[in-house]
Structure formats: structure tokens, C-alpha cells
Amino acid sequence: MRIKRFVEKVPGGLMLFPLILGVLCKTFAPDAGKYFGSFTNGLIVGTVPILAVWFFCMGATIDLRATAIVIRKSGTLLLTKIAVASICTVIAAQLLPDDGIKTGLFAGLSVLAVTASMDMTNGGLYAAVMQQYGTKEEAGAFVLMSIESGPLISMMILGATGVAVFEPRLFIGAVLPFLIGFALGNLDSELREFFGRCVNPLIPFFGFALGCGIDLSVVIQSGPAGIILGLGVIVVTGIPLMLADKYIGGGNGTAGLAASSTAGAAVANPTIIGEMIPKFKAVAPAATALVAASCLITAVLVPIVTAIWAKKTGREISKTEEGAPKSEAMVEPI
């Protein structure tokens, strides 16, 4: 059977197929991990440790000479995403009622849902997509996106910075595996090659674990509003990100489009913020469903539209006869 070849025909398939399997597992067998326990449960709930190892290996592939490119690209995407989310929040605050829309096509939509879905990029998805359609430096640009993790940026955008205190140790903890891998890879080129081989094989594992955190029934409950919100995230954040990537980051727009997603961790933000800011507590459940829908929609569509754009702009993936990566391009479809 040519399973790998079949998966590779779908843009981002190496991550998407396991993610979909994870979603089905969470939806129809939510207690499977607890039932089987041990290593099976570890695969189902192991998003964080799997991503930690993957980020470490990703760091090892980045050449010190390309550090400036990584910071430039990462900073450009991060600041653009925050700026767009801020503008959307201001507009939403003027158009939407405080308790959200109650009926109609956009039922459940609120300022909280808009902010939480737009301000936090799925760093794992971005890096996985750019692993195929970008350079190693572009794939490593996820490093500053760690700042978006958690409700901090959402709360800042919502004007509630006095409620949350950002602890530097949490940011250090988010980027430390990447930095250690980066240091080892630059101290020893053999270690760079050794850990670099692990980058692609780990993608299906964290894709499955990420999917195991998304309940399809919750997504369906959001109705058309969740689908519209997910599509809106891609369009509204994608266009500015592409322009910023091209004219500031020095890319061709591919990295910007790859960053136009909603992070899986963002699903928890409405509940957290609702507990901290009473005015948002009533809309938190509906916002959670909408953000979950946006996460799933963007996880499926962003790799596809990024692949189409990358091919349109003529970016090719270099391979040697054995399929090993060349110096400037990452390979192995995902």
C-alpha cells in the first residue's frame, strides 16, 4: 500500500489526516485515553511534550547565520497579527452588543470570540506548513509566536491588562527547548543533522494529539457562525500578514498566509478571560464553541491555501535523489 504517497497528495496531509483522526477520537471515544491508559493515553493527551521535542529539533536545524532572518520574520508576523486582531476588536466592539448576538446566522458571535480567534496563531501548524513550503528560517519563525500563548494578548487587546500579570518565566519556558536545540545544532553540525531527521516524523504525532483536543460536536453546535468566523480569520488576518511578510519580512507572502490560523490553545481563552472579567462570563461558552470551530476550519484550510499560494508563486521544494533535504529548503510533504 502507498499510504504515504496518498497522504502527501493532500497539502499538509501529514498533519491533517492524523488531526482529523484525533478529532474523531475525541468526538466518538472521548474516554479512549483513560480506558487504554499507558502509552496510548500519552499519545492522545501528549500535545505539549510532543511539541516540546519537535520545537527542540526545529531549533537544532536553524543555522546561527540565519538568526536575523528568523527574528525579522517572526517579529513581523507577530506584530501584524496583534495589530489586525486589535483593529478587529475595536470594530467588533462598535458593532456587536456586549452580550453577543443571540439569534440569526451569527448567533453566539461576540467581541470575545472575535479577539480570541484572531490574535493567536497556531505555531505548530505554521511551522509544519512552512517546513514544506518555506525555508528552515521561515519555519523557525514561530519562536516569537510563543508570546501569544495563553490569554495575555487577548486581555491586553480587550483593555484588561491590569487583571493579568505576565510572568517572564513562562515565556522563557516556552522558548527554552527551541533555544537549547538551536545551541546544540550550531555547536555541532552532526547534531544538527541528527535532530533534524526527527522534525518530519514527529508531525503526525502532534497533529493527532492536537485533534484529540477538539470535540466535533462542540464545533457543530457553533453552527454557520463558527464556519464564517474561521473563514474570516483566514481572510482578515491572512491578507495583512501576506503583505507584511512580502514587504517587511522579505518573503513572498507564503509565511504570512501560513500564520493566518487560530491556535488550538485559544479555545481555552474565552473561559479563562470570562473568569477574570465578569462582563465576558456570560458569552464565554458560545465564544468557546466559535473559537473551536475556527481552530478546526483554519487547521484544515490554511495548509491547503498555503500550498496553492506557494505553487502559484513558484516556490519549489528541493530534494536530493535520496529525498534528503538540501541546505536551503525543508522537504518531506506534511
- Domain positions in the chain are 13-312
Residues 6+ positions from 153 with CB-CB distance below 8 Å: 82, 85, 119, 120, 147
pTM over 0.75: no
Cα separation, 34 vs 277, in Å, equals 33
pLDDT of residue 319: 37
Cα separation, 56 vs 152, in Å, equals 24
Cα separation, 325 vs 86, in Å, equals 39
pLDDT of residue 320: 34
CATH number 1.20.1530.20 is the correct assignment for the domain at 13-312: yes
pLDDT of residue 229: 93
Q: Which three cell numbers stand for residue 116?
A: 480570541
Q: DSSP for 194-256?
A: HHHTTHHHHHHHHHHHHHTT--HHHHHHTHHHHHHHHHHHHHHHHHHHHHHHHHTSSS-SHHH
Q: Which three cell numbers stand for residue 146?
A: 510563543
pLDDT of residue 318: 40
Residues 6+ positions from 184 with CB-CB distance below 8 Å: 60, 191, 192, 195
Output phi, psi for 324, to 5 deg: -80, 150
Residues of the chain with pLDDT under 50: 160-166, 316-334
Output phi, psi for 100, to 5 deg: 80, 170
DSSP letter for 166, please: -
Count of CA atoms in the C-beta half-sphere (13 A) of 93: 11
Residues 6+ positions from 192 with CB-CB distance below 8 Å: 60, 61, 63, 184, 185, 186
Closest CA to 207 of 31, 12, 6: 12
Cα separation, 261 vs 251, in Å, equals 18
Cα separation, 153 vs 158, in Å, equals 9
| CA dihedral for 58, 63, 66, 71, sign (positive or negative) | positive
Any idea which residue has 466535533 for its cell? 216
Cα separation, 267 vs 265, in Å, equals 5
Closest CA to 210 of 53, 54, 50: 50
**Longest Cα separation, the chain:** 60
**Structure confidence by residue, pLDDT tens digits, 20-52:** 898 899 889 989 999 999 999 998 888 778 878
Output phi, psi for 253, to 5 deg: 100, -15
